[in-house]
Amino acid sequence: MTLNDIAIGSSCTVEKLNDDGEIRRRIMDMGITKGAEICVQKVAPLGDPIDITVRGYHLSLRRSDAQNIEVIPA
C-alpha cells in the first residue's frame, strides 16, 4: 500500500521509499523516513497535490510522489 491510497483523514506509518533520484532525498529530508507517522489532511481543489501532517507540521506533495512512499495503515 502507498501513501496515495490512504483516505483523507486517515493515518499511516512509513515503511519504505521506492523512488530514486533527488525528490526521494528531499522527501526524506522533510521527515518522511521509516517509522514516521503521517496523516493525510486535505486534497487540493484539482485533486492534486495532497496536504499531509508529518512530524507535527503540514507538508504538501504530489500524488505521483506519494505513490512511491510505501506505508502501513494505522
Note the residues at the interface with another protein (CB under 8 A): 16-17, 22-23, 25-31, 33-36, 42-49, 51, 55-62, 65
What's the closest the beta carbon of residue 15 comes to another protein, in angstroms? 10
What's the closest the beta carbon of residue 60 comes to another protein, in angstroms? 5
SS3 3: helix
* Exposed e or buried b per residue across 9-23, where buried means at least 16 C-beta atoms within 10 angstroms of its C-beta: eeebebeebeeeeee
Pick 34 or 73: Cβ nearer another protein: 34
Question: Which residue type does 14 have?
Answer: V
